[in-house]
């Protein structure tokens, strides 16, 4: 991890006390089963974030002026996945108690469970992902990245999936048995009628987990399991905008970015999506702004 914070802000816009947003970098990849490299994702997103315009041209706001604090990267060397989740949970829970908006940067998808477990009260998890991640166990572990939404469902009782185009029979049965709302990528690639339906299905408070492999590999080749047939950048931000307008977004994570040398647009895209969410939350969030 370099010495930069998210957006490379001066100290006056990035101190913990003054900041409305807390970014939690987690360079963890322990259970990855295919392409590797997500352990470098958080650092790459932070490096890329310093190159964005901080004025959002669409909303006419500059979210960085509300303060964005980046905590020291959660140390992950030689720690098991449960310890990492627990550590992330602690940081996120404190941020929420202090009235701040937490953004977790992975790392593999399992780190999102730290963010989710740091939430309070009743909420939905909206998982934007190519994969259902609803297996009970994978590779002998209940905390494999292929099981994260199963664990999230056990924790909060309401998970909505969007962008899915890969799952197994066990997951299909679980979706049917538990009546989980799943929006398949094949129904999302023509037009955006699906967006209002996704938002309709959510509770008032929403934690958004964004696995970058939801994007089509042509937009996002830098990920461990690039599934063909994904959504576009504009699909993702249009969905985030509608969620920000009609619900209260209580937490956010971006996971599974596995940087590829000289493909800087991938980490830049991930950084931009984080910042778009902050702009939408600020501009459309009404009384839920911060
Ligand atoms: Mn995935």
Residue that is written with structure tokens 């969007």 in the block: 162
Distance (Å) from CA 278 to ligand 1 centroid: 23
Predicted confidence band of residue 78 (pLDDT cuts 50, 70, 90): low
Q: Are 2 and 43 in contact (CB under 8 A)?
A: yes
Has residue 6 been placed in a domain?
no
Distance (Å) from CA 57 to ligand 1 centroid: 30
HSE, CB side, 13 Å, CA atoms: give it for residue 217: 10
pTM of the predicted protein model:
0.96
Predicted pLDDT at 35:
77
Distance (Å) from CA 163 to ligand 1 centroid: 9
pLDDT of residue 288 exceeding 80: no
HSE, CB side, 13 Å, CA atoms: give it for residue 15: 4
Has residue 2 been placed in a domain?
no
Predicted pLDDT at 36:
84
Distance (Å) from CA 264 to ligand 1 centroid: 20
Count of beta carbons in the 10 Å neighbourhood of residue 171: 23
Distance (Å) from CA 119 to ligand 1 centroid: 22
Total domains in the fold of the chain = 1
Has residue 63 been placed in a domain?
yes
HSE, CB side, 13 Å, CA atoms: give it for residue 30: 19
Has residue 102 been placed in a domain?
yes
Predicted confidence band of residue 1 (pLDDT cuts 50, 70, 90): very low
Has residue 43 been placed in a domain?
yes
Distance (Å) from CA 127 to ligand 1 centroid: 9
pLDDT of residue 2 exceeding 80: no
Distance (Å) from CA 214 to ligand 1 centroid: 7
Predicted pLDDT at 113:
98
State how far Cα 180 lies from the chain centre. Answer: 19
Distance (Å) from CA 110 to ligand 1 centroid: 11
Distance (Å) from CA 99 to ligand 1 centroid: 30
Tokens of 115: 């963010």
Rounded distance between C-alpha atoms, residue 102 and residue 253, angstroms: 8
Distance (Å) from CA 237 to ligand 1 centroid: 18
Distance (Å) from CA 213 to ligand 1 centroid: 5
| 170-177 contacts at long range (C-beta below 8 A, 24 or more positions apart) | 170/134, 170/135, 170/136, 171/132, 171/134, 171/135, 174/134, 174/136, 174/150, 175/132, 175/134
Cis status, amide bond into 39, omega within 30 of 0 = no
- In the chain, at which residue ranges do the beta strands (DSSP E only) sit? 21-25, 68-70, 101-105, 124-128, 159-164, 181-184, 205-211, 248-255
Distance (Å) from CA 178 to ligand 1 centroid: 21
270-112-33 Cα angle (round to 5): 85
Predicted confidence band of residue 202 (pLDDT cuts 50, 70, 90): very high
Predicted pLDDT at 287:
56
Q: Mean pLDDT across the stretch 233-258?
A: 97
pLDDT of residue 85 exceeding 50: yes
pLDDT of residue 290 exceeding 50: no
Among 18-22, 75-79, 199-203, 208-212, the minimum mean pLDDT is found in 75-79
Has residue 73 been placed in a domain?
yes
Has residue 158 been placed in a domain?
yes
CATH of the domain at 42: 3.40.800.10
Distance (Å) from CA 206 to ligand 1 centroid: 19
| 151-179 pLDDT per residue, tens | 999 999 999 999 999 999 999 999 999 99
Predicted pLDDT at 196:
97
Distance (Å) from CA 166 to ligand 1 centroid: 9
| 42-77 pLDDT per residue, tens | 999 999 999 999 999 999 999 999 999 999 988 886
Distance (Å) from CA 128 to ligand 1 centroid: 8
Predicted confidence band of residue 286 (pLDDT cuts 50, 70, 90): low
Has residue 1 been placed in a domain?
no
Distance (Å) from CA 167 to ligand 1 centroid: 10
Predicted pLDDT at 254:
98
Distance (Å) from CA 230 to ligand 1 centroid: 11
Domain encompassing residue 282: 12-288
């Amino acid at each position: 991890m370099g010495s930069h914070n998210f957006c490379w802000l001066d100290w006056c816009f990035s101190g913990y006390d003054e900041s409305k947003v807390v970014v939690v970098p987690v360079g963890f990849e322990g259970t990855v089963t295919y392409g590797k490299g997500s352990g470098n994702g958080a650092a790459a997103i932070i490096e890329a974030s310093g190159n964005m315009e901080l004025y959002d041209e669409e909303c006419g706001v500059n979210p960085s002026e509300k303060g964005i604090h980046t905590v020291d990267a959660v140390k992950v060397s030689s720690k098991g996945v449960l310890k990492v989740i627990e550590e992330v949970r602690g940081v996120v829970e404190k941020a929420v108690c202090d009235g701040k908006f937490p953004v977790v940067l992975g790392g593999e998808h399992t780190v999102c469970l730290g963010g989710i477990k740091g939430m309070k009260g009743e909420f939905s998890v909206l998982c934007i992902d190519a994969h259902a991640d609803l297996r009970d166990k994978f590779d002998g572990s209940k905390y494999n990245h292929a099981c994260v939404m199963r664990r999230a469902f056990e924790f909060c009782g309401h998970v909505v999936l969007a962008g899915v185009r890969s799952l197994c029979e066990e997951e299909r049965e679980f979706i049917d048995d538990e009546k989980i709302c799943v929006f398949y990528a094949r129904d999302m690639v023509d037009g955006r009628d699906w967006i209002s339906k996704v938002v309709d299905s959510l509770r008032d408070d929403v934690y958004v987990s964004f696995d970058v492999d939801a994007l089509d590999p042509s937009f996002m080749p830098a990920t461990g399991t690039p599934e063909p047939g994904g959504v576009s950048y504009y699909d993702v931000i249009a969905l985030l905008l509608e969620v920000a307008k009609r619900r209260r977004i209580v937490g956010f994570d971006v996971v599974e970015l596995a940087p590829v040398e000289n493909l800087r647009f991938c980490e830049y895209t991930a950084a931009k999506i984080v910042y778009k969410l902050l702009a939408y939350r600020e501009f459309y969030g009404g009384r839920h702004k911060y």
